[in-house]
């Protein structure tokens, strides 16, 4: 059995592609999901990857869910904090609830996912943390003050974790996907989506598997000196 990898939001979209890529690379994968039981059951049936339901926005639920994963599969050496939501609205229309939901899931959710695993990684002197940020955390986005704040926050998290984890053999890195062909992007109004695609020099949306391959590299034993970095995969839409 290979190392155990936990992928939050791992049964749909980019997360599902990451779960599958890590399984193909020899990891024993646990895919967390929040609510869509049907999609999770279909994902397990199709891939053989175990799914675990909890809300990453809830610290106690995350701790209990992770304890269950470790009881079933063994210590988690690799964690991919991927779970995320959008509640897009121009700032003047954004409600405190839209702000809070996105902060709680996308930003506090990263804390809730990594924090319970951190002591074990320090003890075992090995760990791989990857956070799925976004091009919109790098450049901002009209209608996404909440989401962009969380995705920029992810980059602060990994740069700080990298400094704390390095002497324990733990790396923390981010992937910033551009616009990828997932349900989240398909939910953007068609006209807006068309104008976004027109602004991508590659002339197309990215594929979830293209993000998964970045993650597979970052979590590999070979990537031990890559720490605190960000891989941008956005079809040349934006350069940092
Ligand atoms: N730049 C400048 N102006 C814009 C704009 C933009 N990108 N988008 C909209 N506007 C303008 C509109 O033209 C409109 O102007 P007028 O009133 O003068 O006509 C004004 O802003 C208000 O627009 P709407 O009435 O359409 O506002 P709305 O309340 O219906 O919703 C929105 C606006 C929700 C932001 C919608 O435009 C939208 O969904 N945009 C897409 C946001 C986006 O890119 N989200 C990414 C989702 S995918 C993802 O998040 C994954 C990832 O990591 C990349």
- Active-site amino acid positions: 147
Average pLDDT for residues 72-82, to the nearest whole number?
98
The total number of structural domains in the chain stands at 1
Please report the pLDDT score of residue 1 as a whole number: 63
**Bridging pattern class, strands 4-7 and 127-132:** unpaired
What is the band of 14 on the pLDDT scale with cuts at 50, 70, 90? very high
Q: Which range marks the domain in which residue 133 is found?
A: 4-232
CA 92 / ligand 1 centre spacing (Å): 12
Percent of the chain scoring above 90 in pLDDT: 98
CA distance 5 to 28: 6
CA distance 104 to 74: 28
Q: How many beta carbons lie within 10 A of that of residue 4, not counting itself? A: 20
CATH code of residue 185: 3.40.50.720
Is residue 140 domain-resident?
A: yes
Is residue 132 domain-resident?
A: yes
112-150 pLDDT, tens digit each: 999 999 999 999 999 999 999 999 999 999 999 999 999
35-57 pLDDT, tens digit each: 989 999 999 999 999 999 999 99
Please report the pLDDT score of residue 167 as a whole number: 98
Is residue 237 domain-resident?
A: no
Protein residues with CB under 6 Å of any ligand 1 atom: 86, 88-90, 93, 134-136, 141-144, 147, 179, 184-185, 188-189, 192
Mutating to test ligand 1, I would choose from 142, 187, 193, 197 the residue with most ligand atoms within 8 A of its C-beta, which is 142
DSSP string, 5-70: EEETTTTSHHHHHHHHHHHHTT-EEEEEESS-HHHHHHHHHHH--EEEE--TT-HHHHHHHHHHHH
Atom 35 of ligand 1, residue of closest alpha carbon: 143
DSSP-derived letter for residue 93 is T
Is residue 239 domain-resident?
A: no
CA distance 213 to 20: 10
């Amino acid at each position: 059995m290979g190392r155990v990898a936990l992928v939050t939001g791992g049964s749909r979209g980019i997360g599902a592609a990451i779960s599958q890529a890590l399984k193909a690379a020899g990891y024993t994968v646990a895919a967390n999901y929040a609510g869509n039981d049907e999609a999770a059951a279909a994902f397990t049936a199709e891939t053989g990857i175990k799914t675990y339901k909890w809300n990453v926005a809830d610290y106690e639920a995350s701790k209990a869910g992770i304890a269950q994963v470790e009881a079933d599969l063994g210590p988690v050496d690799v964690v991919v904090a991927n779970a995320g939501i959008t509640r897009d609205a121009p700032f003047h229309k954004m409600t405190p609830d839209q702000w809070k939901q996105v902060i709680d899931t996308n930003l506090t959710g990263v804390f809730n996912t990594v924090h319970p695993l951190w002591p074990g990684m320090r003890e075992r002197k090995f760990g791989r943390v990857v956070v799925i940020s976004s091009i919109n955390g790098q450049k901002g986005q009209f209608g996404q003050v909440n989401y962009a704040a969380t995705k920029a926050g992810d980059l602060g998290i990994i740069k700080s974790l990298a400094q704390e984890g390095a002497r324990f053999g733990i790396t923390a890195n981010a992937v910033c996907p551009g616009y990828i062909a997932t349900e989240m992007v398909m939910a953007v109004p068609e006209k807006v989506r068309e104008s976004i695609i027109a602004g991508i020099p590659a002339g197309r949306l990215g594929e979830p598997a293209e993000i998964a391959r970045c993650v597979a590299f970052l979590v590999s034993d070979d990537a031990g000196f890559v720490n605190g970095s960000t891989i941008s995969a956005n079809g040349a839409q934006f350069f940092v």
